[in-house]
Amino acid sequence: MTDGDWEHFEHGADIGVRGSGPTVEAAFEQAALALTAVIVDPARVAPQTEIEVSCEATDLELLLVDWLNALIYEMASRRMVFSAFDVRIDGNRLAAKARGEAVDTDRHAPAVEVKGATYTELRVDFRDGRWYAQCVVDV
């Protein structure tokens, strides 16, 4: 996991997730952390169990949506939340490891589930020496 930051940004009915870092991989990792933070406080999620995710798209923006949707699928089907990510991007292909644990309603107090990542406010770009990756997720 590389250094970086994540934040949420406003969207009418839903939530925008934004990650940034020195590399595009770091920005993707941070965007994933922002996704987790929509649901739970990532600090409360122990990175115990590791899963692998891979996806491929024609450009980096579509790859970001695919990456977040792959995580949404894993969270929903495994009933897990993730707090640590290791992303590798080779061309238009992404391979990643995500570490987390099963949802514990009492301990995690999850707020809301995410239905899907959208193309709204979707941007992956390099500005002022930093990579940014963002989109709105539907909750």
Partner 1 sequence: MTEPTVIQLSETEWEIPARGDMRVPAFVFADKTLVDGMESRVFEQLANVAKLPGIVAGAFAMPDAHWGYGFPIGGVAAFDPDDGGVVSMGGVGFDISCGVRTLLTGLSADDILACQSQLADDLLRRIPAGVGSTGAISLAPDEMDAMLRGGARWAVERGWGENADLDRTEEHGCMTDTHPEFVSDRAKERQKQEMGTLGSGNHYLEVQRVTRIYDGAAACAFGLKVGDAVVSIHCGSRGLGHQIGTEALREMVTAAPKLGIRLPDRELACAPVNSEPGQRYLGAMRVAINCALANRQIITHLAREVFARHFPKASLVLLYDVSHNTCKAEVHEVDGRCRHLYVHRKGATRAFGPGHPEIPRAYRDAGQPVLIGGTMGTASYILRGTEAGMKKAFGSACHGAGRSLSRTAARKRWQGKDIVTSLADRGILIRSHSLRGVAEEAPDAYKDVGAVVDAADAAGLAAKVARLEPMICVKG
Q: Is 34 in the site for partner 1 (CB under 8 A)?
A: no
Q: How far is CA 41 from CA 34, 94, 112, in A?
A: 10, 26, 12
Contacts (CB under 8 A) with partner 1, residues 44-83: 58, 62, 65-66, 69, 72-73, 76-77, 79
Choosing from 1, 51, 89, 103, the residue that interacts with partner 1 (CB under 8 A) is 103
What's the residue count for the chain?
139
Choosing from 27, 32, 39, 96, the residue that interacts with partner 1 (CB under 8 A) is 39
Residues 8, 18 contacting (CB under 8 angstroms): yes
Q: Is 43 in the site for partner 1 (CB under 8 A)?
A: no
Q: How far is CA 88 from CA 11, 29, 41, 97, 128, in A?
A: 29, 10, 25, 9, 22
DSSP state of 112: -
- Only one of the segments 24-32, 44-52, 83-91, 114-122 lies at the binding site for partner 1 (rule: CB under 8 A); that segment is 114-122
CB of 65 to partner 1, least distance (A): 8
CB of 120 to partner 1, least distance (A): 5
Residues 118, 138 contacting (CB under 8 angstroms): yes
DSSP state of 111: -
Binding site for partner 1 (CB under 8 A): 8-15, 39-40, 58, 62, 65-66, 69, 72-73, 76-77, 79, 102-103, 105, 109-113, 115-120, 122, 136, 138-139
